[in-house]
Structures are given as structure tokens and as C-alpha cells.
Structure 1
């Protein structure tokens, strides 16, 4: 997966997140489990993209970056 593939996937997840949240404004509760999955997947994708860019900037192979487990990514401090 290259940077553009990751960005395309991020865009797809953002669109789904917005759709889930917009449904909530129509008086319906969003599917909380799906919303949680989408939010976690977004965090994981952003982390992978940051890893790839860091490797590229330091002269390493960005293809060696790997998606970290959601449990690890969600544990980062903001």
C-alpha cells in the first residue's frame, strides 16, 4: 500500500464517519460499534502514513512501515 492508497482509504473512512454522524442528527442514533471501528481505523491509517513519511524523510524504505495494532495506536497521548 502506498501513500496515495492510504490517503484514499482515509478519505473513504472520513466520508463514512460523516455519514454515520449525520444520521445521528436526523434523530437516529449512529451505529456506535461501526463508528468506533471507523474512528480507530482512521487513527491506524494516519499512524501508518506518518510512519511511512518518517521513514522516507530519514532515507529508509517507507514500504517497511507496518500498521500498528489498534490497541497500540489508541494508547498514544495527544
Structure 2
């Protein structure tokens, strides 16, 4: 893995970690009754989709490296593409 590949993956992982922190914050806000359950669910649903998209991008990059291709050619897929894999 080159330095730029590691940097790009580090940025993606940083974004993932930030969203995980946001999930934790939402759960704490619900527990403390700062937000209601419907607000928490709506925000969590959006975060889960974005997390799925980040994980997908990371998998694409790793697959491209394994295939000897340029990982920078991987692209963020739409939420519909990522969420409908199993459909």
C-alpha cells in the first residue's frame, strides 16, 4: 500500500469513526431525553446508510488493490446501490 492509498483509507476510516461517535451521541441523547425516539431513529437511519457507503468504498478500494488496479478509481456508490445489494 502506498502512502496515498493509506491516506485515502485513513480518511475513510476517520469518517467511519466519526459516524460511530455520532451514533453513540444519539443513543446518549435519547437516554437523557434530549431527543425523542423518532428523531433518534431517523438520524440513525441516515448514519447507517452513510456508514454502509463508506464501508462499501473501503471494500472497493481493497478489491482494486488486490486486483492490481488503481484504488483511486473506486467511487462512492449511491445509497440505493449500496442498500439494495441483497434485494
Residue 19 of structure 1: aligned partner: 25
* Structure having the higher Rg: 2
Residue 38 of structure 1: aligned partner: 47
TM-score by length of 1: 0.87
The structure with more helix, counted as a fraction of residues: 2
TM-score by length of 2: 0.79
Q: What is the CA deviation profile of residues 21-64 of structure 1, one whole-angstrom value per residue up to 9, with x for unaligned ones? A: 22222344242332211111000000000000000111000000
- Select the residue among 51, 75, 85 that pairs with 1:76: 85
What is the distance in 1 between the residues matched to 2:26 and 2:52?
17
- Secondary structure of the 1:59 match is coil
- Secondary structure of the 2:68 match is coil
- Select the residue among 61, 68, 74 that pairs with 1:59: 68
Structure 1's unaligned 5+ residue stretches are none
